[in-house]
Structure 1
Amino acid sequence: MPIQTTIAYEEIDNLLLDPENPRLGRQTSGKKLSQEELLNEMAQWKVDELAISFLENGGFWTQEALICIKGPKPGKFTVVEGNRRLSALMRLRDAFDGNPASPKWKELVEGRHPSKGLFKQIPYLLAPSRESVQAFLGFRHVTGIEPWAPSEKAKFIANMVEQGMTYDEVRRKIGSTKEAVRRNYVAHKLYLQIEEQANIPRENFKDRFSVLFLSLRTQGVQQFLHIDLNLPPEKIKEGVPRKHQKALQDFAIWLFGDDKKLPLFSDSRQVDKFGKVLESADAVSYLRRSPIPNFEVAIRMAGGDLPESIERVHEAADKVEEVLRVAHHHAKNLKLKQAATRLGRSTKQLLWVLPARNRSRGPAVSIGSIR
């Protein structure tokens, strides 16, 4: 049964904040919190910005009607889409009633009067169940115009999978890709495991969940954690096998940091190099034994800087070839000669270093062999 298309109206006292809202975060979502406790949790969502808009524009926007389901008590409705809007109205009503949540809310309503029906005629659309709203919420907040934080998206996707939906069914529901759905599910399961197994401060997770998600695309991370993303959800539900919990704990500290160490790297663009590091036994051994491991050192030990080195040499060769086309026009220029001499010395040194480490692979290339 689909969401109703006819807008109905309800007063604020009959509308309830949703304790299962993914935006609340894993530590709060689903807990038995009172409406006042939920409202306090939602204070960090910048609801005052919405409140100002309601006051400036004469009320609640009908085109942004809430989506509700019936219950949990007769005559009450739980808001499954629009909790931020409802919490803004609740804060406004409290401020107009002389119970502002803070001086900011007191100042916000000073000299103002609520528009007619602001708290008595709130537009909403009725949905028959939470499940009937999943496709809409998935598109709007996972792939659409009002995205949740990465960990919130993953939790929403994981809930759908654990309700029995396949990766492909979830993909179609939310308008994503099968690979993204799969990685979000696995990332969420790892996140739950890390919370239980590693001593990581919760605040460290907030801004780093996307790095966890991205790292799962690398073969090195999958091998190190002994997880197979190609397994069906029921086979991967437990995440990292018990006998590899030490690997999970090390991985968590390197990725998120703890109360003693910073994360191994801060730029999410480094996840591919991180994967290469975890493929190297020598690099992993270095990370484990070093009190303060250095990511660049680990990359070098893993040979992860080789592709970049090769690319730089190619770039240098390209630039030299460009200069060769015009160098004869400036044959007597002293600065150009000095730059070329420097280049020659560096190239000779590079060619000397490479054969010294690869004598078993063939004869050394001499500087005089370059044509």
Structure 2
Amino acid sequence: MPSKIEYTKLDAIALDPLNPRLGRTAHSKDLAQDQIYDLMKDWSLEELATSFLESGFWPHEAVLCIEEKIGDKDLVVVEGNRRIAALMRLRKTYAGEETSRKWLEMIEGVPQPAGLFDDVPFIRYADRGEVDAFLGFRHVTGIKEWAPPEKAQFIAKLIDDKGLTYREVMRKIGSKTDTVERNYIAYRILVQMEETEGLDAKEVENRFSVLFLSLRSKNVQKFLGIEGKFGIEPKDVKNPVEDENLDKLKEFSLWLFGDQETAPIVPDSREVDRFARVLASTEGLDYLRSVRRPSLEKAFIIAGGDQEQVYDLISTAAYNLQEALSSIHLYKDDEKLLAISKRMIANADQIRKTLEIE
């Protein structure tokens, strides 16, 4: 456990190459420190830099570092990467290495604060495991949430690297067990998509929340053949979609996320439930598979998805009509009411003919 706040030079602290905010693609490239900085320097660092210039680096905002060797640095910041990147960019600005007008204007007339880059407050941890619970509470369930794929990646790391169960992760980060489970399964499906030949998964990570939400549906689970992957230990869910269902996974990915040539038919997460209804319909699936550029709206209608809506519309009309009958006789000479009633009678007659009601 950490004992106290320490101070060190900015040069002694490395940016974290495993920072979830960098994204999984960046993690796979084994980026150098200057490459990580280039990715981070536009992460809205201006407010942090302004705060440093006005108030210095408050000790209660100390970054969390682990003892890990990267190049000539012995500390890696695992919480507070934006603060360190802001200090780096601010120092480059004072050194004349920054060309951004915004950053140059920021320091104009402001002397370099004494000790800002030499006395950086930090708390030392022996390894990442000691910080996991804090990161989970802060960024998965807390006020500074990571983006959906970053949350899922963090959960998967706890499960795959440390062998934790869903319940153990729940206790560690303060989330619900079923949410942890769905995040993990969605993440493992994302990995499968990336590893499946002939499947373009470039947009999946950008719209990970759509994948996550879709897995709530039993229809989606049944289509992908993953019903049995819920409620079991995560060690048995490494590849949720079995080999015999990989062709369905390709279809699912194309319809939900599109590819370089085809736009997705599901524009956002609000349409996931309608899409799930289509997956459960033979007619709806036939339409999706046979039309080059299918429409979710048309597929939903073909799948009978608007049936409940028709029930509601007719039922509401019937109850409204019944209520109107109690006082309609009081206005039998009203011309506007007569016109409305004629239209209603014509519509009712059309319903009778369509439904063949005698």
Q: TM-score, normalised by structure 2?
A: 0.92
Contact 2:219–2:279 (8 Å) recurs in 1: yes
| Aligned position for 1:178 | 177
Contact 2:220–2:276 (8 Å) recurs in 1: yes
Where 2:7 maps in the other structure, the secondary structure is strand
Where 1:67 maps in the other structure, the secondary structure is strand
Q: Which residues of 2 match residues 78-93 of structure 1 at below 5 A? A: 78-93=76-91
Contact 2:66–2:125 (8 Å) recurs in 1: yes
| Aligned position for 2:283 | 282
Distance 1:85 1:53 in 2: 10
Where 1:45 maps in the other structure, the secondary structure is coil
Pairing partner for 1:146 from 144, 147, 156: 144
Q: CA offsets, 1:146-187, max 9 Å, x none?
A: 111101111111111112111111111111111111110011
Contact 2:139–2:146 (8 Å) recurs in 1: yes
Where 1:173 maps in the other structure, the secondary structure is helix
Q: CA offsets, 1:285-338, max 9 Å, x none?
A: 211121100111111111111122222223333433443344333232111121
Matched, 1:302 2:303: yes
| Aligned position for 1:369 | none
Q: CA offsets, 1:121-152, max 9 Å, x none?
A: 11111223211111111111111101111011
Contact 1:10–1:122 (8 Å) recurs in 2: yes
- TM-superposed CA distance for 1:103, in Å, is 3.8
Partner amino acid for 1:188?
Y
Count of matched residue pairs? 353
Matched, 1:70 2:67: yes
Distance 1:64 1:314 in 2: 60
Contact 2:6–2:122 (8 Å) recurs in 1: yes
Q: Which residues of 2 match residues 1-371 of structure 1 at below 5 A? A: 2=1, 4=2, 6-29=4-27, 31-55=29-53, 57-72=54-69, 76-100=74-98, 102-162=100-160, 163-197=162-196, 198-200=198-200, 202=202, 204-228=203-227, 229-354=230-355, 356=356, 364=357, 366=358
Contact 1:20–1:30 (8 Å) recurs in 2: no
Return closer, same or farther for 1:348/1:127 CA change in 2, 3 Å cut-off: farther
Distance 2:326 2:61 in 1: 64
> Which deviates the most, 40-49 or 12-21?
40-49
Contact 1:184–1:213 (8 Å) recurs in 2: yes
Partner amino acid for 2:216?
R
Return closer, same or farther for 1:236/1:71 CA change in 2, 3 Å cut-off: closer
Q: Structure 2: give runs of 5+ residues left out of the alignment.
A: none
What is the alpha-carbon root mean square deviation over aligned residues?
2.0
Q: CA offsets, 1:6-54, max 9 Å, x none?
A: 2221110111100011111010126421111110111242222321232
Distance 1:239 1:325 in 2: 59
Contact 1:69–1:79 (8 Å) recurs in 2: yes
> Which deviates the most, 329-338 or 63-72?
329-338
- TM-superposed CA distance for 1:201, in Å, is 6.2
Return closer, same or farther for 1:234/1:71 CA change in 2, 3 Å cut-off: closer
Return closer, same or farther for 1:351/1:124 CA change in 2, 3 Å cut-off: farther
Q: Percent identity?
A: 42
Distance 2:341 2:60 in 1: 68
Q: Structure 1: give runs of 5+ residues left out of the alignment.
A: 357-363, 367-371
Where 1:146 maps in the other structure, the secondary structure is coil
Return closer, same or farther for 1:324/1:116 CA change in 2, 3 Å cut-off: farther
Distance 1:126 1:78 in 2: 10
Distance 2:81 2:105 in 1: 23
Where 1:27 maps in the other structure, the secondary structure is helix
Return closer, same or farther for 1:315/1:175 CA change in 2, 3 Å cut-off: farther
Return closer, same or farther for 1:10/1:326 CA change in 2, 3 Å cut-off: farther
Q: TM-score, normalised by structure 1?
A: 0.89
- TM-superposed CA distance for 1:206, in Å, is 4.5
Return closer, same or farther for 1:30/1:136 CA change in 2, 3 Å cut-off: farther
